[in-house]
Amino acid sequence: MLKGHFSRAIDKGERISESRSKRRERGLWQRRFWDHLIIDQNDFNQHVDYIHWNPVKHGRVQRVIDWPHSSFHQFVAKGIYPTTWGYSGEFNIDADE
């Protein structure tokens, strides 16, 4: 019910891929989404690491710190992560791909 209400509230002019259009999918919802209850601190840490790494994984930036919209910057300011977290000194992103 929440998903349907939210999806109907999204602007009708949004850009939708052909595959999403065929499945009548809109907005932020992903096909393979599942919920997950955080069970302990280690589980939480792994999910935060996953979120921080996503912009690098998807080729948006070459280093985690380069993504300006990330909570990573707050974690660095608190001393939880070093600014070089996730950076090996070598870039695995080929700009031509």
What pLDDT does residue 5 have?
Answer: 77
What pLDDT does residue 92 have?
Answer: 52
* All structural domains of the chain: 1-33 (no CATH), 36-97 (3.30.70.1290)
What's the rounded mean pLDDT across residues 48-76? Answer: 94
CB neighbour class for 91 (10 Å; exposed up to 12, middle 13-18, buried from 19): exposed
CB neighbour class for 12 (10 Å; exposed up to 12, middle 13-18, buried from 19): exposed
* pTM beyond cutoff 0.85: no
What pLDDT does residue 97 have?
Answer: 39
**4-55 pLDDT tens trace:** 777 777 777 777 778 777 877 766 666 666 778 999 999 999 999 999 999 9
Distance of alpha carbon 37 from alpha carbon 35, whole angstroms: 7
Does residue 35 sit in helix, strand or coil? coil
